[in-house]
Amino acid sequence: MKLLRDLFGSKGVDPLDTLADDYLKRLKRGEKIDRSSFIATYPELAVELGRRLDANPEIVAAEEKLQKQFPGPMGLATRGAPDGVPDFSIEEAPKAFDGMKLGDYEIASEIGRGAMGRVYRARKVGSSQDVALKTLPASLDISDGQMARLGREGSAQGRLNHPNIVKVYDSGTCDEIPYLCMELIEGGETLQTLLEKTGKRFEERRAAEIILALAHALAYSHQQDVVHRDIKPSNIMMDGDTPKLTDFGLAFIQRQDVTRLTQSGEMLGTLCYMSPEQVGGHQSDGSSDPHPQCDVYSLGATLYELLTGELPFVAETPGQLIKKVIDDDPLPPEKMGAKVSKDIEAICIKCLEKSPEKRYYTASALGDDLTRYLDGRRVEAPRINWATRRLRNYVSKRRWAVAASFFLILTLSGTFAVTYIFNYRDGVKTLVTNNGNAPPEGDDYKLSLLLRAVNDDQLEARMAAVTALCRQDNDEARAALIKAAEDPEEKVRFHLATVLVDWPGETASRVCKLLLEEDGGFVAAAAIKLADTIGDSRFTPAIKKFTYSDEKVLRGYALGALMTAPGLDYDAFVSEYFRDGPKDGRIALLKRFMKAKAAPSIPPLIQLLEGTGSSAEIESASKILAFFTDGSYGSDSQQWRIWWEKNGESWHARRCLAVSWASQESLLKLGDIIWEIDGNEVTRDAKFSPSLVAEIGVIRKDTFNSINGPLGAHKSQAFFIGTVNGLPVGDNALAGRLAKVLSSGR
């Protein structure tokens, strides 16, 4: 009890009162909170807390209203037993693992707990990195819903890699305890915690910066076809000043045949942050699938709370709250006591539009408008005239009469022209919502729509059209893509280069040639990656030029692509670059060699030892030579010259692949080293698709294995090993392991 009092503040604060108040507030917000799960979060106070909740008439009334409003899925757990003791007992509390091991993870301490289980600070055996381990209770009472939610969280969040999304590294089950291994956020503070600490109101620029970072994260998530569905301050972790989205347990993965967590029309999420179509159980087009604009709405509700310190809608019962979300406008921020600029108010209210068509098409569009606001430019969201808005809503509630009158006007003024415009906008909305990917049902987009959309004033429409045009096999589509390489907006040109990586053909080559003429920036970096994928020697001179760029990132991309560029005298380039290249570039190239990301060139490294390099470069060159050869001569260039004259013809840097991930159905395993394919060396052009059927030579643990496909889903990363007469050599553990396996026979 003393520990809990310390956690809740001064000795004058009763933690039971604080917890009861929090429980009541969450009931009034419309959260689907389960009484037993809430009590389970605080096992030390289980009995006392249950009695305190039973003794509060407001809580009892709120629970009864909630159960009447939403029997079944929305119902609460059974209230206390006849003697007043809650059903949950301390013995039923989730199992603690402090100081124990869970699978491959050593648990250090508990850092949080909730209705879904506990979160621990842990470390994988053999690793130096701390992680967060999220577990369900060690109990036979784990529900199918809990398992499905944790599985959905791992599946959805695990496929995302973004600086503003908490990373999921691993998942599994040990001793019947399911767990997720995630990025550890020191402090574990959520945006909800910050709201409470700061008096529930943020300075508007800080609020905009937080929402902008989250909009970027959601734009990336939506591009990966993942809709979060439960965005709220308590699901946003704060890593210092950096917000990170977490808890994808209710996420929806588009265009996949997934098992749903709910029946059609059932609500998921927290009512006060859910969009009207979510609380209504269907979208405006009649479908039941969530769409990215649901997340845009929830992000707007979060922004409203940051600006005003209050939720957009508050009611006594969930039924009243649902009606407000569907029918009412949020109050102007000034009526909530918040003095904010018209621009940030316009952005917030545009996110909270009842109709998805009136919100931002995408999270990326929201991010662009927030960037304009932060840069002091005019935002695209219309300024809010609250009187006009109320009139518009009045008309929308009488839409049938208004629609009939409007139809008559359209008929008199030219039905055909207006219908054409509406059809185009509807097509663009679908195009943007699907990020240019083919519609889940029906035929692909018409070419006429794409040719118009690629010239649309809306940035998102042009980018989506580029994605869709890549699938079109005709001259008009190819001409439109080449023209898009001259689009004035850098984002379009960057997106074009990124998409064409999957379509390396003549059109990609012509676009790549145009984009490589850029002076620098992220467009040029994407063009280098496209050129690397195409593998045409015509691009090698342009890539070589960028290795001398002042931009560090651009120079790194160029060096990486040039290591395998066709038509390049590799040894001559490395020798020239060590002599004339920028110092940072030379260091970057040496680091690539040291990380085995590129095949080293031995003669230029020996030249560095002869005095052409700095002391740091000489030290690196010595280590690289020892790492890739069986020599151990330090920085003695003369001895290395003798070694090279003796072994140069038999030395070779061989490309291998390390399997970094493999599905349970795959023939490959995590940690496998792919050594050869059909008896031949692994080349840069080798394609290891899941459907590949070939004889794959794999070193697994300390044996050589021959595997025949199909290989199944997997990922691998390339690295280089030095060999002499075909056997691995070098002052590194991996080379020693491979040499031992390969020399002992197969």
Closest residue by Cα to residue 317 from 62, 71, 75: 62
DSSP state of 528: H
- The one-letter amino acid code at 696 reads I
- The one-letter amino acid code at 254 reads Q
Give the span between the Cα atoms of 587 and 604, in whole angstroms: 14
At residue 110, what are phi and psi to the nearest 5 degrees? -80, 135
Q: What is the Cα gyration radius of the chain? A: 30
Bridge partners, 238 (sequence order): 243
Catalytic residue list contains 230? yes
Which of the residues 21, 22, 83, 230 is marked catalytic? 230
Q: How many residues does the chain have?
A: 746
Closest residue by Cα to residue 163 from 67, 237, 268, 68: 237
Which residue carries 């006591």 as its tokens?
337
Closest residue by Cα to residue 272 from 304, 243, 248: 304
Question: Which of helix, strand or coil describes residue 113?
Answer: strand
Taken in order 392, 393, 399, 402, the sign of the CA dihedral is negative
For residue 676, CA distances in Å to 342, 673, 684, 685, 724 come to 63, 9, 12, 13, 17
Give the span between the Cα atoms of 209 and 318, in whole angstroms: 32
Give 290's contacts (C-beta < 8 A, 6+ positions apart). Answer: 227, 229, 252, 278, 283
- Token representation of residue 620: 């690196």
Closest residue by Cα to residue 494 from 545, 530, 458: 530
DSSP string, 381-427: SPPP-HHHHHHHHHHHTTHHHHHHHHHHHHHHHHHHHHHHHHHHHHH
Closest residue by Cα to residue 157 from 146, 166, 147: 166
Cα angle: 81, vertex 82, 88; to 5 degrees: 15
DSSP state of 152: H
Question: Which of helix, strand or coil describes residue 6?
Answer: helix
Give 334's contacts (C-beta < 8 A, 6+ positions apart). Answer: 340
For residue 595, CA distances in Å to 620, 681, 718, 721 come to 11, 20, 11, 11
Chain centre distance of CA 657:
25
Give the span between the Cα atoms of 267 and 282, in whole angstroms: 10
Give the span between the Cα atoms of 213 and 647, in whole angstroms: 54
Give 223's contacts (C-beta < 8 A, 6+ positions apart). Answer: 435
Which string of b and e fits 154-191 if b means at least 16 CB within 10 Å?
bbbbbebebebbbbbebbeeeeebbbbbbbbbeeeebb
Give, to the nearest 10 degrees, the angle between helix 342-351 and helix 204-223.
30
Active-site amino acid positions = 230
